[in-house]
Structure 1
Amino acid sequence: KNHTSWSVIFLATFTYGAVIVPILHEFNPESMEHIIAHSESKCIFINENIWENLDKGNIKLPVFSLPSFNLLQSENKKTRNLTGKIDALFAKKYPAGFHPEDVVYADVDNDDVICLNYTSGTTGFSKGVMLTANNFAGNITYAHTLELLFPGERDLAFLPMAHAYGCAFDFLYALSTGVHVTLLDIIPSPQNLIKAFQEIKPNIIITVPLIFEKIYKKRILPIVDKPIMKTLLQIPGINNMIYSKIRKSLIDSLGGNFREVIIGGAALG
């Protein structure tokens, strides 16, 4: 699920030079176990509620919980011992404290695969898509040319970070722009979203059709579906007044501060 700890692991894996394998939390346990095995993953970071539903007998890898980073499982004695000494080892390596000059990134070619992104699929098990550094860089660079966001602005990230769309634009692009990103770590129901929109007041909204369909059914359809409203909407002049009020209500519901709404990659005018 979306959480700052997920973002930390994502960037740490990139900069370490390893390949990240994000898994959507909506996947069933069987699919998750298949992805872990098929991707030949070496380590797992997972929410404990999800870990409880997996078959531990099928997973022989070190497993760390999110967001606590506690070790949940490891058959390797060295891993277990080192995990309990991380703070001490870190302090020993950096006795004067950790500074910007201590940051060293792995030398990874932009054509190298850095992410295996598994889709839900329509038949059989999930299919893994190999994404290179250039795949992400291309999307981020293109978004910068569009000037979707500006430093200091606000973004509400409610699409799954494990999905390439949300990851590239709500997370990586926004972060590279110097935007304050708020991660929604609860179910993006219409009620939760509207509350978050009104609190955060994002400058841009990046979403998918299903989300807006839910908001429409929850906030607008009950109004326009009333018999008297259907009649009033047929009257010239009055209908424009009603549509204007509905539009204002919808804009206010979305925080009232956005310049643009992007749905499924296409901008709404």
Structure 2
Amino acid sequence: MHIQEFKTLRGLFTYSIDKYKNNKAFAYVGGDIYTYSQFGEKTEFIANLLSTAGIASGDKVAIFSQNMPNWPAAYFAATAFGKVAVPILPDFSEFEVKNVIEHSEAKALVVSKRLLYKVPETLLQTFNIVIEADSLNIIFQKKDISPAEIKFASEEELASIIYTSGTTGTSKGVMLSHRNLCTHLYAAFKLRPTFEWDVWLSVLPLSHTLESSLSMMLPIMGGASVNFMEKAPTPSMLLKALAEVRPTTMLIVPMIIEKIYRSSVLAKFNASKVTRYLYSTVIGRKALNLIAGKKLMKTFGGRLRFFGIGGAKLDGVVEQFLMEAKFPYAIGYGLTETSPLLAGAVGKMVKWQSTGPAVHGVTLRIDNPNPETGEGEVVAKGPNVMMGYYKNPEATEQAFTKDGFFRTKDLGIIDENGWLFIRGRLSNMILGSSGENIYPEEIETIINGHPMVAESIVTQYKGKLVALVHFNPEKIKALQEAKEEALNAYYEKKEQFMHSFETKKDLLKQTYEEKKEEAIHVYEEKKDEVVKAFNEKIEQLKKEVSEYVNSRVNKFSKISVVEDKPEQFEKTATQKIKRYLYTAKK
């Protein structure tokens, strides 16, 4: 199969709008549709607005918008016309947005109506031009600006600066060249070819390199169509979109499929004694998983052929379900700094808990391997590896080995066939009291397998392992409702009693106050008993979780303390927990 190669994103743009001009390109689910020809027209329209406003070759164009058909048009209006795209994650705070814009020195902004409130009025006045992403109307434009000549970029020139939203809390501007993105596109297409009849449903933010590279550039290369959701992908909205679009392709992060498995699949298997028993046997589990897989396939529209999972490590139990369900999942591994794919596995290439072999053009190596386990830091070299961090030469230097390999800061091993297995983040690894390497991600996977747990973090405090646990809100809700019901009944009874007591006040006379206080004390004790019963149940759950995980890990990885976290953990764009917000306190 011949694979088209591109030197620059302009080459990709002109090739696609010509070859696939009548194909459906981008659309809202159930809404407006752009053909590739119309996509080209919208892109050129924005490019002309930018040039008229004096945005010259190499100038930065910030894109701050949720996914929509005009997002790719804004991106290619910059990258295919000599400018530099600076995508900003929609969930960035006003402070983070301001920092990205100022650090990148963006001269133009394409912003959606929904996110405009996060850009201060004073900051808007600093741009040459501000364009509303929804309508492409001009919100603000400086006067007396001379138009800039359009000059197309070469393959070695900067195409995009992507500011990471990492789990460590430090956001750096990753510089990706046209060569980085185009060679990555070739490798991705080689791993997973795209055809004109493919239909994407995009649910991850395009401002993240995972989605922009694999759910925007890849379908453009094959003339496929991409559908965006106007509203947030809540379970109900997602189900409607899946039924309408019936996608052949989707990209998701592990947390989404893990939630589907635990809340829908596993919950149903545990609903009756019969299925619970069957699921505890190997033969029964495989049979039930296969049945569930067929139902899941139907839920996703019935014609899914590629269900890409990346952005974080997939839970082993959930992956076992996907394998036994014969669900068409694929695994990818990479980072923003590598455009992003470094390794990937599709179809029969997939191995349990492996991210697959290195993709075309990439060399992977394990540095400083443990002589006993073979585990060490994964380092990579290839044409898709970033130019460096924008205006941060020190961080750039630290990101590479002396012989030019990029340091992923991930720990892993490579088997004899070249398949990569990720163990965890180097920065997350905990050193045990006897020098053992403890990977919190592996313990968290086990904790999250408990039916009452939604998510967790394992950290170290004073030499002991502590599990911060967010219990399943739906299941905790039942306990809370029982507590509230008991308290409401208590207050109602107390009110009735006090009313009755007041009516007998004259009869009781001298003993009134004494008996009133005695009665109130009895009722207060009952209220305290209700609250105490709820707290005891939470404590019992914490004990159960501790016993559950400690019976499944080695002696070095046993949890000493389980702490309840009532609120969900704060997450990055790819739904990874921002660990630094919680581990720093320990």
Aligned partners of 2:249 and 2:307 also within 8 Å: yes
Partner of 2:186: 141
Which residue of 302, 311, 315 corresponds with 1:256?
302
Aligned partners of 1:110 and 1:134 also within 8 Å: yes
Shift of 1:36: 0.5
- RMSD (Å), alpha carbons: 2.4
Cα distance between partner residues in 1 of 2:281 and 2:262: 23
For the pair 1:210 / 2:255, whether they are aligned, the reply is: yes
Shift of 1:214: 2.8
Shift of 1:227: 4.6
Instruction: List runs of 5+ in structure 2 lacking aligned partners.
Output: 1-65, 311-331, 333-343, 351-586
- Compare 117-126 and 62-71 and name the one that shifted more: 117-126
Cα distance between partner residues in 2 of 1:43 and 1:107: 18
State the Cα deviation string for residues 60-99 of structure 1 (Å, max 9, x = none): 213221211222234x2247xx9xxxxxxxxxxxxxxxxx
Give the secondary-structure state (helix, strand or coil) at the position aligned to 1:185.
coil
Which one has a bigger Cα radius of gyration? 2
Cα distance between partner residues in 2 of 1:156 and 1:27: 23
Which residue of 280, 285, 293 corresponds with 1:247?
293
Q: Normalized against structure 2, the TM-score is what? A: 0.39
The correspondence of residues 17-28 of structure 1 with structure 2, limited to 5 A, is 17-28=82-93
Give the secondary-structure state (helix, strand or coil) at the position aligned to 1:72.
strand
Cα distance between partner residues in 2 of 1:110 and 1:211: 36
For the pair 1:70 / 2:137, whether they are aligned, the reply is: yes
Partner of 2:270: 225
Instruction: List runs of 5+ in structure 1 lacking aligned partners.
Output: 83-104
Q: Percent same amino acid among aligned pairs? A: 27
Shift of 1:253: 1.3
Shift of 1:123: 4.9
Shift of 1:129: 0.2
- Compare 234-243 and 9-18 and name the one that shifted more: 234-243
State the Cα deviation string for residues 107-160 of structure 1 (Å, max 9, x = none): 311111110000113455521100000111012111222243212221112221
Aligned partners of 1:190 and 1:218 also within 8 Å: no
Aligned partners of 2:97 and 2:118 also within 8 Å: no
From the superposition, tell whether residues 249 and 169 of structure 1 become closer, same or farther in structure 2 (CA, over 3 Å).
same
Partner of 1:193: 238
Partner of 1:3: 68
Whose RCO is larger (CA < 8 A, sep 6+)? Answer: 1
Cα distance between partner residues in 2 of 1:178 and 1:67: 24
State the Cα deviation string for residues 202-250 of structure 1 (Å, max 9, x = none): 2222221122123223422321232523123235755444222211111
Partner of 1:158: 203
Cα distance between partner residues in 2 of 1:181 and 1:116: 23
Cα distance between partner residues in 2 of 1:72 and 1:16: 22
Cα distance between partner residues in 1 of 2:285 and 2:308: 27
From the superposition, tell whether residues 239 and 18 of structure 1 become closer, same or farther in structure 2 (CA, over 3 Å).
closer
Q: Return the letter of the residue paired with 1:24.
A: L
Aligned partners of 2:81 and 2:153 also within 8 Å: no
Cα distance between partner residues in 2 of 1:239 and 1:6: 44
- Compare 246-255 and 65-74 and name the one that shifted more: 65-74
Cα distance between partner residues in 1 of 2:255 and 2:108: 33
- Compare 59-68 and 190-199 and name the one that shifted more: 190-199
From the superposition, tell whether residues 68 and 247 of structure 1 become closer, same or farther in structure 2 (CA, over 3 Å).
same
Cα distance between partner residues in 2 of 1:220 and 1:78: 62
Cα distance between partner residues in 1 of 2:169 and 2:257: 29
Partner of 2:380: none
State the Cα deviation string for residues 173-226 of structure 1 (Å, max 9, x = none): 111101121123322233322332232222222221122123223422321232
For the pair 1:55 / 2:55, whether they are aligned, the reply is: no
Cα distance between partner residues in 2 of 1:258 and 1:267: 17
For the pair 1:108 / 2:174, whether they are aligned, the reply is: no
State the Cα deviation string for residues 18-70 of structure 1 (Å, max 9, x = none): 00000010111110011011000001110122112332223421322121122
Cα distance between partner residues in 1 of 2:112 and 2:78: 17
From the superposition, tell whether residues 249 and 241 of structure 1 become closer, same or farther in structure 2 (CA, over 3 Å).
same
Cα distance between partner residues in 2 of 1:25 and 1:12: 20
Aligned partners of 1:261 and 1:267 also within 8 Å: no
Cα distance between partner residues in 1 of 2:195 and 2:254: 25
Give the secondary-structure state (helix, strand or coil) at the position aligned to 1:193.
helix
Aligned partners of 2:69 and 2:228 also within 8 Å: yes
Aligned partners of 2:131 and 2:138 also within 8 Å: yes
> Which structure has the highest strand share of the two?
2
Partner of 2:530: none
Partner of 1:96: none
Cα distance between partner residues in 1 of 2:121 and 2:212: 29
Partner of 1:99: none
Partner of 2:583: none
Cα distance between partner residues in 2 of 1:245 and 1:122: 37
Q: Return the letter of the residue paired with 1:179.
A: A
Aligned residues: 245
From the superposition, tell whether residues 257 and 226 of structure 1 become closer, same or farther in structure 2 (CA, over 3 Å).
same
From the superposition, tell whether residues 125 and 239 of structure 1 become closer, same or farther in structure 2 (CA, over 3 Å).
closer
From the superposition, tell whether residues 28 and 236 of structure 1 become closer, same or farther in structure 2 (CA, over 3 Å).
closer
Give the secondary-structure state (helix, strand or coil) at the position aligned to 1:194.
helix
From the superposition, tell whether residues 206 and 123 of structure 1 become closer, same or farther in structure 2 (CA, over 3 Å).
closer
Cα distance between partner residues in 1 of 2:153 and 2:99: 27
For the pair 1:34 / 2:99, whether they are aligned, the reply is: yes
Partner of 2:339: none
Give the secondary-structure state (helix, strand or coil) at the position aligned to 1:115.
strand
